[in-house]
Structure 1
């Protein structure tokens, strides 16, 4: 295909491309150079050379659009109606509840049901590509997820910054992850049809658990702290963090920042133990604890930090747990010295930590 869309251009796109070709024809008459024309019209020099050859052979008429290769079977109004249907999901159109994906065959049947128009699967593919559609991997959401509760949390707890303002506190998001000896899968280059092979650890004995904290305070650069927990697979050895280790992490973060903390984390079992309520009640002068909604990991900016770490560990062949631990610490140390990465992780959640500016002026 000639264009990036893969299925040609829409009629509006073809008209825009025709105007570019006719503008180039006027510059051809003036004797302008190919590089200058391409730079001014923001197209490739290869396209300008092709237009010049057509203009020299047939004049300006050779640069006129000949229309689409095949006429679209749906009008603009019909396609606008079709675009609204996939958001309702396949079950709304008669397919089973456990089937949530849209295939070309299903879209072909949907077009026939809605508009009584027959299309081939290849024609549907060209139609969708021409209008900017593509095959994508969907974002997964838990069935137990409560969207209303999440919206209430975002509009209430997250939007109300009075707790942090009253305490002069730093807002700290905490999250945990883990990595065993078997690394995450990554991508590498190879010739088409020749799948590359990488050698990694097949044993999953042992694991490195991580607790990470992303702290932000208006007017200060964002900070990140982490603490590893190595599980060697021994008998009666703790596999992950206990509530005392989480307590020490909170205390250490408070001492490092020197400010009160508004602590935000998920609903892990260890986070809901009675000891936490007693600890928070005994340190109300510098600690407030809030819980994220259930099944809403996208609200925690630390999740984006873990994605940076996992990308670094893709296809990593660790010699032992000590080697894996060193690699994890090295990567997290690099992130700590890059505040723009820590700041960007908050932007991915859609949350705003900065307090609203006071637009009233004193007289």
Structure 2
């Protein structure tokens, strides 16, 4: 073929196509055979016959290229309107879930602009305007984005200023659980045959980890964690108690060598009377709560994501010791990579500040 699939989309490609058709028309006039013209111009005989028929019916203007047949004829202004419709979400257009597919976008184009186009044309249209197929992030319905932007952002800035004024470490804390069933990740396989990851069909072993990402301007980022194993059927607490968080905060204080300002979620264990009493009794400890349903503001969530997408993905754990060993080795590597810890903080859009708050003047 002289031009590949989708040729003629740009002005230059359309001009090249018209030149090929002009050469074919000149050879038609000389009476050359269709097969000879197709071989010399490196196009199919069907295309040559179609050009010859359009020339007989429409004359010279019929040789002009109309672009790719599968290209949706949407201008930039029309695509901007299409983007507004897509931002509304599939639910606003009558679909039960929140997943955009090429077929659904094709339907929206037909409803909004009264144009029909193939699925491949929709894909090329989206790709040309910077859209891609990707997994969405989750956000709780209870999260009020407007309230966060107006109120919680200012309160979080005050917490960072408090840490800077006291020369303290800003510490983000979170906990997660890991079981013998590994998280799934994409892998290569033969088309039509889904790859299988063989795991233990039944295991009550579980490992919980409470971790802290520690930041301070001018200091290397630190990562501190404490594991806790649990086996179902044994009469023991399946999760961390407030005394475990107390010991973790004390350990962070000793390792960092200074006061700390932990920021954690509203877990009921964090709000117990014993924990509040311990915070009130120690000046080096100042605790704040993160906004509700705002997991994307906690850099420790990025650490869990690194684990689930990296060393834990598709791993067939033999026993609980294998799981524990893999987790400890992976977390130890993260501890020696402050760039990863800083990257998790950058992903949240937050940054520690070394500016001290300016005290307000009282009226004289």
Alignment TM-score > 0.5, same fold? yes
TM-score by length of 2: 0.75
**Contact 2:161-2:355 at 8 Å conserved across structures:** no
**Contact 1:9-1:130 at 8 Å conserved across structures:** no
* Alignment of structure 1 residues 26-45 onto 2, 5 Å: none
- Change in 2 beyond 3 A, CA 1:176/1:348: same
* Alignment of structure 1 residues 273-292 onto 2, 5 Å: 273-283=272-282, 285-292=283-290
- Change in 2 beyond 3 A, CA 1:297/1:239: same
**Contact 1:173-1:302 at 8 Å conserved across structures:** yes
- How many Å apart are 1:112 and its aligned residue? 3.0
Aligned position for 2:245: 246
Aligned position for 1:88: 88
Deviation string 1:264-316 (CA, Å, 9 cap, x unpaired) is: 01111211222222222222x21111111111111000111111122211222
- Change in 2 beyond 3 A, CA 1:214/1:83: same
What secondary structure, in the 3-state scheme, does the structure 2 residue paired with 1:207 have? strand
- Change in 2 beyond 3 A, CA 1:10/1:301: farther
* Alignment of structure 1 residues 287-298 onto 2, 5 Å: 287-298=285-296
TM-score by length of 1: 0.75
Aligned position for 1:361: none
* Alignment of structure 1 residues 120-159 onto 2, 5 Å: 120-152=118-150, 154-159=152-157
Structure 1, gaps ≥5 residues long? 1-5, 19-53, 55-65, 359-363
**Contact 2:212-2:223 at 8 Å conserved across structures:** yes
Deviation string 1:113-137 (CA, Å, 9 cap, x unpaired) is: 3323333444433332333323322
Aligned position for 2:186: 187
- Change in 2 beyond 3 A, CA 1:106/1:319: closer
Structure 2 Cα separation of the partners of residues 199 and 155 of structure 1: 45
- Change in 2 beyond 3 A, CA 1:196/1:92: closer
What secondary structure, in the 3-state scheme, does the structure 2 residue paired with 1:143 have? coil
Structure 2, gaps ≥5 residues long? 15-41, 43-64, 358-364
Deviation string 1:198-240 (CA, Å, 9 cap, x unpaired) is: 3222223111000010001110000000000011223321111
Structure 2 Cα separation of the partners of residues 112 and 316 of structure 1: 46
* Alignment of structure 1 residues 209-220 onto 2, 5 Å: 209-220=208-219
- How many Å apart are 1:68 and its aligned residue? 3.4
- How many Å apart are 1:10 and its aligned residue? 9.9
Q: CA RMSD in A?
A: 3.0
Aligned position for 2:48: none
- How many Å apart are 1:15 and its aligned residue? 5.8
Structure 2 Cα separation of the partners of residues 251 and 356 of structure 1: 26
What secondary structure, in the 3-state scheme, does the structure 1 residue paired with 2:208 have? strand
Aligned position for 1:77: 77
Deviation string 1:102-153 (CA, Å, 9 cap, x unpaired) is: 2333323322333233334444333323333233222121222222343245
**Contact 1:149-1:293 at 8 Å conserved across structures:** no
Structure 1 Cα separation of the partners of residues 289 and 132 of structure 2: 37
Aligned position for 2:197: 198
Deviation string 1:49-87 (CA, Å, 9 cap, x unpaired) is: xxxxx9xxxxxxxxxxx7732464222211121122211
Are 1:325 and 2:309 matched, yes or no? no
Aligned position for 1:171: 170
Aligned position for 1:45: none
What secondary structure, in the 3-state scheme, does the structure 1 residue paired with 2:287 have? strand
**Contact 1:153-1:293 at 8 Å conserved across structures:** no
Structure 2 Cα separation of the partners of residues 7 and 222 of structure 1: 51
**Contact 1:10-1:131 at 8 Å conserved across structures:** no
Moved segments of 4+, more than 4 Å? 6-11, 15-18
Structure 1 Cα separation of the partners of residues 213 and 229 of structure 2: 21
